[in-house]
Structure 1
Amino acid sequence: MPPPNDAGAAVEEEERRLWEEATRLGVLSRELQESASALISSTWNEEQGLRQRALALDSDLKRVQSAARRSAADTKAVEKINEELYRARCLIKEGDMASILPNKDHGRFLKMFLGPVNVLATRKEVRLKVKEEYNKYRDRTAFLFLLFPSILLILRSRIWDGCMPALPVQLYQAWLLYLYISLALRENILRVNGSDIRPWWIYHHYCAMLMALVSLTWEIKGQPDCTNKQKGVQLFLVWAIMQGVAMHLQNRYQRQRLYTRIALGKAKRMDVVCGETAGVEGQLWLLCPILFTLQAFEAYVGLLLLRTAVVGVISEWQARMRDSLRDLASRDGCGEFCEHGANPDGEIEIQS
């Protein structure tokens, strides 16, 4: 056992060594903080200069595009000029410069759910990841949109003897509310990060949110005469199945169109709406009749639901209001093809 004096000296030596190490680390942390502050200050100054140059370039692009539109030059020459201007704008809006441009207004919807936070991704790969996750989410939810009402209708006929309990239906309606809120949130975030999502596409999800909220207040009645009392619920589930089919078809078609436009250099990787039509005529011959048939069926189901709500057993205000909102929300497959029907050249808008 070491003498007491030796033990005390060892403890003091250990304390001194630890203090010197802590002091050294403190000095290093302060030096690192000063270096980081200097770097951030220098980066901010350089970023301000780049931002001013990018804004000036964007203004020049708009000026030249406006001049080309008013020009009496040959149509093909104007198209080439516009294509070159579009590529230049893509570099500004989609490239690394996009992270230093002034932020788009986040809108009331994002502020209501997230508060005054900045959802702009500074790195391009992060923005593309947001877009990729949005597309995957649409694919997954389109499958669930078709699966859930199908299961409810199968259970109704085989297990529940034509009378659905309230809880499963209300759980499905709660999922619809979650679905439309999450879609609207993701789409608003995409818009802030450079996606050219058309306003009507987001607004129709707001209508769908209200539809799902109203549906949650609709009483699911049981026996006696359950079949007639639940006629409106049954029609709504049939409509949901058809809407799920339409969503599957559109997601597949629109994704292919977006890839084609990116390959042709006519779309940004963050774009979600476009109007190019090369190489899609064969697909449209298949897709248009199917979608118009689905929309006609949805209109038929909507009329039956409205009649059931007005003159049938079910006369609550929720049924009538939900039917009106459902018609607005059904633009999930109609908006772009309505424009296609009015354009003999086959131009459509693609929401991807």
Structure 2
Amino acid sequence: MGDTETEQSEIVVEEDVGRVVEQVKELQEASSSLISRVAKDEQFLRQRALSLESSILKLRSSIDSLLCNNRLDPKLADKLEDELNRARCILVDGDASSFLPGKAPGRFLKMFIGPINVRATGKDVQLKVKEEYNRFKDRTAILFLLFPSTLLLLRSWIWNGCMPAFPVQLYQAWLLFLYTGLALRENILRVNGSDIRPWWIYHHYCAKLMALVSLTWEIKGPPNCVEKQRGVELFLQCAMMQGVAMLLQNRYQRQRLYTRIALGKAKRMDVVWGETAGVDGQLWMLCPILFILQGFEAYVGLLLLQTAIGGVVSEWQVIVCGILLVLMAVGNFANTVGTLMAKSRVKAKMKRGKSKQETD
């Protein structure tokens, strides 16, 4: 009796195992077939997306050519240009954008994570990457201002003009983490179709290098502590001014980007730049502040070089930080001026079009 029950149990288990194995094989075949069909469909959609993107570029070129030769009504040209802009926004900002070729990851990204594809296939995932980048900037903007201002206040009130090494190096280590995180996130955003200008990524490379160099800065104590720590004081003052700029930019830039997205002039994956502003008129309020901050950044860099050349603080870190500050100030100024000139050209083109319509 026992042997019979054992044989029946063995038969049942063997049949169950065989049935599961067959089901797994069937699932594998169905999955392979589905993946093959999806791959073919994706290839077809990818070819269509590339063809439509090329058609939009050709049509834009044709409109510009006809407009220059006075063979197209300016009012109609503006209408057609707006329609093409909306079509391109649908193409590059919708689900079809995943079929367009993305930017290759740069060396900086490969250095940290290797040759891994960081392009998100779904639009919802891409937008989450962007929102996390914005949250990271919001979280760090207040700390960027609070940290150096606290150190400078404690220097005057408690430390009698002589800062201890640990809190300063802690702040410099946080800066290194901040700029590395920003550079990584911005490289990932560019791969996923964002329009971040290369300069702002290079700017964060320079800032990361400056934070790394300043981390090796020897914080000397008494005697003559005020003179020995002059370079550190200037570095903290510049960082505090940059914190003010970050807070101002984070406030104004989002409004402008949301407006451009609503008008079909920007993609949802785009992020704000360092010289954009909110609505009309805010750019002219923000730009003078940016120019003042850029001038102060260059001034601090020159003061650092002067303290090194004058022998007050002769460490090599002072020279490197001074050069990097001047370089970043010049780059920021050049990009801000370039943006203003581009906006002026667009406005001039719009005015010419309106005046020509009135004449006709």
SS in 2 for 1:196: coil
Q: Is the 8 A contact 2:89 2:265 kept in 1?
A: no
Shift of 1:221: 1.1
Shift of 1:242: 0.6
SS in 1 for 2:221: coil
In structure 2, the CA distance between the partners of 1:16 and 1:149, relative to structure 1 (3 Å rule), is: farther
State how far apart, in whole Å, the 1-side matches of 2:75 and 2:130 are: 33
Q: Is the 8 A contact 1:205 1:329 kept in 2?
A: no
Counterpart of 1:19? Answer: 14
State how far apart, in whole Å, the 2-side matches of 1:331 and 1:262 are: 30
Shift of 1:278: 11
Counterpart of 1:242? Answer: 241
Cα deviation, 1:216-270, whole Å, max 9, x if unaligned, reads: 2221111211111001101110110110000110111111100111122221111
Counterpart of 2:77? Answer: 78
1:157 correspondence with 2:152? no
Give the total of aligned pairs.
Answer: 341
State how far apart, in whole Å, the 2-side matches of 1:240 and 1:22 are: 67
Letter in 1 for 2:285: L
Overall identity of the aligned pairs, in % = 62
Counterpart of 2:121? Answer: 122
State how far apart, in whole Å, the 1-side matches of 2:182 and 2:224 are: 38
1:46 correspondence with 2:41? yes
State how far apart, in whole Å, the 2-side matches of 1:120 and 1:311 are: 50
State how far apart, in whole Å, the 2-side matches of 1:304 and 1:347 are: 39
Segments of structure 2 that go 5 or more residues without pairing to the other structure are 348-360
- Root-mean-square deviation (CA, aligned residues, Å) is 2.5
Counterpart of 1:183? Answer: 182
State how far apart, in whole Å, the 1-side matches of 2:162 and 2:277 are: 50
Shift of 1:79: 2.4
Cα deviation, 1:34-92, whole Å, max 9, x if unaligned, reads: 11110000010111111111111111111111111212323333222222212222222
Letter in 2 for 1:224: P
Counterpart of 1:30? Answer: 25
1:280 correspondence with 2:275? no
Letter in 2 for 1:63: K
In structure 2, the CA distance between the partners of 1:82 and 1:261, relative to structure 1 (3 Å rule), is: same
Counterpart of 2:53? Answer: 58
State how far apart, in whole Å, the 2-side matches of 1:53 and 1:345 are: 36
Cα deviation, 1:168-219, whole Å, max 9, x if unaligned, reads: 2122112212211111111111111111111112111111122122212221
Give TM-score scaled by structure 2 length.
0.86
State how far apart, in whole Å, the 1-side matches of 2:35 and 2:28 are: 10
State how far apart, in whole Å, the 1-side matches of 2:241 and 2:233 are: 13
Q: Is the 8 A contact 2:277 2:286 kept in 1?
A: no
Per mean C-alpha deviation after superposition, the further-off stretch among 115-124 and 51-60 is 51-60
Letter in 2 for 1:53: R
State how far apart, in whole Å, the 1-side matches of 2:278 and 2:161 are: 48
Q: Is the 8 A contact 1:247 1:333 kept in 2?
A: no
Q: Is the 8 A contact 2:253 2:272 kept in 1?
A: no
Shift of 1:281: 3.1
Shift of 1:128: 0.7
Give the 5 Å matches for 1:1-352.
Answer: 5-6=1-2, 10=5, 12-72=7-67, 73-272=72-271, 280-330=279-329, 334=333, 336-339=335-338, 341-342=340-341, 345=344
Shift of 1:279: 7.8
Shift of 1:9: 5.1
Segments of structure 1 that go 5 or more residues without pairing to the other structure are none
Per mean C-alpha deviation after superposition, the further-off stretch among 77-86 and 25-34 is 77-86
Give TM-score scaled by structure 1 length.
0.88
State how far apart, in whole Å, the 2-side matches of 1:43 and 1:134 are: 32
Shift of 1:286: 3.3
